[in-house]
Chain A
Amino acid sequence: GAGVSQSPSNKVTEKGKDVELRCDPISGHTALYWYRQRLGQGLEFLIYFQGNSAPDKSGLPSDRFSAERTGESVSTLTIQRTQQEDSAVYLCASSPYGTGGASQPQHFGDGTRLSIL
């Protein structure tokens, strides 16, 4: 499709397990962003990719969180040893270039709803 695609749409797992969330950005978009949205709260920045490199990882909440991007396309967000506080919707967005002050919209996927039991 033409939009940002995320998978799975829902993930339920037991505390302590590792999870992998996938994002397929819009073709040709060099910038890719991961956000976390807890119930009733605003979006929380996690990490930003420009191409395959991540110039800003400042939002990753702990070393249990990591992300990579390959081929300037697909990105994977991995959460190790999940905890109940990780339960949230994880949203991915892409834009043609980095926002860097430029007036470009970020195009969002519909997110992965992660529930940790």
Chain B
Amino acid sequence: KNQVEQSPQSLIILEGKNCTLQCNYTVSPFSNLRWYKQDTGRGPVSLTIMTFSENTKSNGRYTATLDADTKQSSLHITASQLSDSASYICVVSAKNTDKLIFGTGTRLQVFP
């Protein structure tokens, strides 16, 4: 069964600190993996998209990594800001399908 699991479920950090969110998936055949940020009451916004051949991609203070062999991805946030408080969702796409498989997200709270 195609699944995407994320950890931790929630995370609290202080402003200025770094953090890393994890994503494990069992989707096959794998096509690409996306990280989205979802602010409360808003729709998800794309941060990164990585294909099989990419093992790292950055978007400002966000850096995603992908290990297609172990089927794991991480999202590293550097020098966190209060505006980083949101849910971060890992999404995996299988080849030859238009259906995306969503993780349940990691709820990040950044405190001053």
What is the interface of chain A, defined by CB distance below 8 A to chain B? 4, 31, 33, 35, 40-45, 48, 50, 55-56, 58-59, 91, 93, 98-101, 103-111
* Nearest A residue to B45, CB-CB: A108
Provide the B84-112 mask, 1 if CB < 8 A to any CB of A, else 0.
00000100011111111011110000000
Contacts of A59 in B (CB 8 A): 99
Contacts of B102 in A (CB 8 A): 35, 42-45
Q: Is the interface of A mostly helix, strand, loop or mixed?
A: loop
Contacts of B51 in A (CB 8 A): 103
Q: A105-B49, A108-B44 are in contact. Are A42 and B105 (CB under 8 A)?
A: yes
CA distance A28 to B33 in the complex (A): 24
Provide the B31-72 mask, 1 if CB < 8 A to any CB of A, else 0.
110100000011111100101000000000000000000000
- CB–CB A50/B98 < 8 A: yes
Q: A41-B104, A42-B89, A91-B43 are in contact. Are A101 and B95 (CB under 8 A)?
A: yes
CA distance A35 to B51 in the complex (A): 23
- CB–CB B98/A100 < 8 A: yes
- CB–CB A103/B32 < 8 A: yes
CA distance A100 to B60 in the complex (A): 27
Shortest A89–chain B CB gap in Å is 9
A40, A58, A106: the one within 8 Å of B46 (CB): A106
Closest 4 CB pairs of A and B: A108-B43, A105-B46, A42-B104, A101-B31
- CB–CB B43/A100 < 8 A: no
CA distance A9 to B25 in the complex (A): 32
Which residues of chain B in 15-43 are interfacial with respect to chain A, using CB atoms and an 8 Å cutoff?
A: 31-32, 34, 41-43
- CB–CB B46/A4 < 8 A: no
CA distance A106 to B99 in the complex (A): 11
Contacts of A106 in B (CB 8 A): 46, 100
Contacts of A99 in B (CB 8 A): 93, 97-100
